[in-house]
A and B are shown apart, each in its own frame.
Chain A
Amino acid sequence: MGDTRYRVLLVSSSGGVLLDLLALRPWWSRHGVSWIAVPAPDTTALLKDQRVHWEPEQSARRPLPMPAAVIRAVGVFIAARLVGIPALWLETFNIVDRPGIASRVCGKLAAAVLVQRPALLASWPRAVLLGELY
């Protein structure tokens, strides 16, 4: 195991995505971590001891081309590219075949895609198998 201490930014909505990222705690607890999260009952409770930038869901004044959560995620990946920081996309546990729009866009922008199922290794040229997280 490496001794390098990274500064890690974790970006999460509520629900399964949050549980997946919390399951990576054995790794990120050894590094310097901050979060971007949407305020929700589970995020506020489970991240109460973390350093979090809360980003409220904003109601759109006109129809958006894709869900707000996807726009947020894509924005983070584009920003990471612009400043030269590797960004990883973590595919949630119950994605089994066709990735959603967030996966398709962010997966292409990602330096690597972390998958929990061996069958998904073929879906991404830069896939890395983590195994089931919980």
Chain B
Amino acid sequence: MSRILVTVGMGPWPFDRLIGAIAPLCADHEVFAQTGTATVRPPCPHRPFVSFSELQERIDAADVVITHAGNTVRLVQRAHKVPVAVARQAGLGEMGNDHQVHYLRMEEVNGPVMAVWDVTRLPEAIAAHGEQQSRLLRERPVEPAAMPGHIIETLDSLCARLVRSRDY
């Protein structure tokens, strides 16, 4: 039995396809789902939204995180874990565009992520997660985030140049 966190982000589009697909996992694992605006209710503890601090605590405490292919993918990777990610699709009314699809297609080739394109295969992904996580963390290190000093220097320099030149 694994401790599984499911999260679909804070956006206004329901992601019923993912939330509806976690039911088989709820029977065999300890699952908590952040469901957003989903119109289906999973058979496990769930809430529409959680605070950012709670989300981070739940990521740290989880054995596996199943997430939409939003920025949460990187948050999970920064916690030295490999997320199981499902991309929202515009054609299914899950997003305004397909940038999650493009992102996940790239990330599944280069990054430490397990992409799931057919949500009926989530149980298989969870079963394989432990072995896959060890391999992917070893083979695909994540680039470090920008340092605060770099952010400050870059933006101060940019703003000074723009204000001075009035080239905008």
A residues neighboring B (CB under 8 Å): 1-2, 4, 6, 14-16, 18-20, 23-24, 26-27, 30, 40-42, 45-46, 57, 67, 84, 86-88, 92-98, 100-101, 111-112, 114, 128-134
Chain B residues bordering chain A, tally (CB within 8 A): 44
B residues neighboring A (CB under 8 Å): 9-12, 48-49, 51-52, 69-71, 73-75, 78, 96-97, 99-100, 102-103, 106, 143-146, 148-160, 162-163, 166-168
Q: Chain A contacts of B70 at CB under 8 A?
A: 15-16, 94
* B50 vs chain A, min Cβ distance (A): 8
Q: Chain A contacts of B69 at CB under 8 A?
A: 94
Minimum CB distance partner of A20 in chain B: B71
* A107 vs chain B, min Cβ distance (A): 13
Majority secondary structure of chain B interface residues (helix, strand, loop or mixed): helix
Inter-chain contact A6/B159, CB cutoff 8 Å: yes
Inter-chain contact B159/A15, CB cutoff 8 Å: no
Q: Chain B contacts of A27 at CB under 8 A?
A: 151-152, 155-156
Known contacts: A27-B152, A27-B155, A95-B99. The answer to whether A40 contacts B106 by CB under 8 A is no
Q: How far is the CA of A98 from the CA of B102 in the complex (A)?
A: 8
